[in-house]
């Protein structure tokens, strides 16, 4: 088994390598003066089971292209099996046609990965589970819920917890987390989105009065939805509000928005490398998914069950 790292999230790959007790495969991944990407694998990978770890986060196009070129280089070097490990799957939010004459970009990315030579894909908390169906190759979707639930139980044990979905679409995710928290009650924030990146909270479905609310979502981008939801929960009588999100995109003024919000804390995983502003924030905490991803890689290499990780 070989572990190859792209440039998007080196700290996560180093943590995965430490868990697996294997070295990161030596490779030269660099850019020419015109930003053209060049990849050279510096070790023999013929007949090897290779895992390429690369989140397609900002800059999404550069990181995606880097992953595709790494896969092509491995295929041409006669690797036996190539698994694209994408802790954060960019373009996942474009999983359907929201209007006429619009693309389904998540499907396009799936086609690109398959054409480049990937034999398998491993991701964490896909924005929509049906994206697995966009691939004609085996695709594993890991869930960060076990990591999050363990952290919540360790830090907030004894609190009267209510799990809250910030929108109707995230109810399945919230229910799965609530089940792990001793079947905690569930609430839903009903919102109306006027335009992309903005949201208006309408009302709360469920009783949150006197409860410790845990907001759960897969992606936090502008943080507008979470901050509005936190304010609404406080107005509804919640004693405190924390948010757990798998992918901390945190674009634009998201960090300052979190700093000035009703959120006690925003917890994100290291599926995306933390930016300086996020790392320096006292309201944002990082939770590692390295053991989860590493264990999944180990099980795929051993041809054993991945789904049993979540039993």
222 is in an annotated binding site: yes
Ligand-binding annotation for 193, yes or no, is yes
**115 labelled ligand-binding:** no
The pairing of beta strand 186-192 with beta strand 200-205? antiparallel
Q: Is 270 annotated as a binding residue?
A: no
Q: CATH second-level architecture of 2-143+291-310?
A: 3-Layer(aba) Sandwich (3.40)
Q: Are the C-beta atoms of 273 and 8 separated by less than 8 Å? A: yes
Tokens 């930016």, located at residue: 275
Helices (H), the chain: 10-20, 60-76, 105-116, 145-156, 171-180, 224-235, 254-259, 276-280, 290-301
pTM: 0.92
pLDDT tens digits for 240-295? 999 999 999 999 999 999 999 999 999 999 999 988 888 899 999 999 999 999 99
Nearest CA to 58 out of 222, 257, 275 is that of 275
Active site residues: 191
- Residue 167, annotated as binding a ligand: yes
Q: Is 125 annotated as a binding residue?
A: no
d(CA 133, CA 138): 9
Longest dimension (CA), the chain: 61
34 annotated binding-site participant: yes
Q: pLDDT tens digits, residue range 64-82?
A: 999 999 999 999 999 999 9
Between CA 198 and CA 200 the distance in angstroms is 7
Triad 112, 289, 82: Cα angle to 5°: 35
In angstroms, rounded to a whole number, what is the distance separating the alpha carbons of residues 42 and 38? Answer: 13
| Residue whose entry in the numeric block shows the structure tokens 């015109």 | 34
pLDDT at 232: 92
Check: CB of residue 48 under 8 Å from CB of residue 1: yes
Which one of 3.90.1150.10, 3.40.50.720, 3.40.50.2020, 3.30.360.10 gives the CATH number of domain 145-288?
3.40.50.2020
Q: What is the pLDDT of residues 29-71, one digit of tens each?
A: 999 999 999 999 999 999 999 999 999 999 999 999 999 999 9
CA nearest neighbour of 112 among 155, 61, 152, 58: 61
Intervals of CATH 3.40.50.2020 along the chain? 2-143+291-310, 145-288
pLDDT digits (tens, 9 = 90+) for 176-211: 999 999 999 999 998 766 666 665 656 899 999 999
Q: Select from 25, 29, 65 the least CA-distant residue to 45.
A: 25
Side-chain-facing half-sphere of 45: CA atoms under 13 Å = 29
Is 223 annotated as belonging to a binding site?
yes
- Interval 208-243: pLDDT, tens: 999 999 999 999 999 988 999 999 999 999 999 999
SS3 assignment, position 196? coil
Q: What distance in Å separates the CA atoms of residue 267 and residue 150, rounded to the nearest whole number?
A: 13
Tokens representing residue 20 in the block? 């697996």
Which residues partner with 2 through β-bridges? 50
């Amino acid at each position: 088994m070989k572990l190859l790292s792209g440039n998007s999230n080196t700290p996560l790959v180093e943590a995965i390598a430490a868990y697996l007790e294997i070295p990161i495969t030596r490779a030269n991944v660099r850019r020419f003066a015109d930003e053209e990407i060049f990849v050279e694998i510096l070790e023999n990978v013929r007949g090897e089971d290779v895992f390429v770890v690369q989140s397609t986060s900002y800059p999404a196009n550069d990181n995606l292209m880097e992953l595709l070129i790494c896969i092509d280089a491995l295929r041409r070097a006669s690797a036996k099996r190539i698994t694209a490990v994408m802790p954060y799957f960019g373009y996942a939010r474009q999983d359907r046609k929201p209007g006429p004459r619009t693309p389904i970009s998540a499907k396009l990315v799936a086609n690109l990965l398959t054409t480049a030579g990937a034999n398998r894909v491993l991701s964490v908390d896909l924005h929509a589970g049906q994206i697995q169906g966009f691939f004609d190759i085996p695709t594993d979707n890991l869930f960060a819920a076990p990591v999050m639930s363990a952290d919540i139980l360790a830090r907030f044990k004894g609190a009267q917890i209510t799990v809250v979905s910030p929108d109707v679409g995230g109810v399945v995710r919230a229910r799965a987390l609530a089940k792990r928290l001793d079947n905690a009650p569930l609430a839903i924030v009903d919102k109306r989105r006027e335009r992309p990146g903005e949201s208006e909270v309408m009302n709360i479905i469920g009783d949150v009065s006197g409860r410790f609310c845990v907001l759960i979502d897969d992606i936090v981008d502008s943080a507008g939805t979470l901050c509005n939801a936190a304010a609404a929960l406080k107005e509804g009588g919640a004693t405190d509000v924390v948010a757990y999100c798998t992918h901390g995109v945190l674009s634009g003024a998201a960090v300052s928005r979190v700093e000035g919000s009703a959120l006690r804390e925003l917890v994100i995983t290291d599926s995306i490398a933390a930016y300086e502003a996020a790392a320096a924030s006292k309201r944002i905490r990082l939770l590692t998914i390295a053991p989860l991803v590493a264990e999944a890689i180990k099980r795929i290499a051993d041809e054993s069950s991945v789904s049993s990780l979540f039993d």
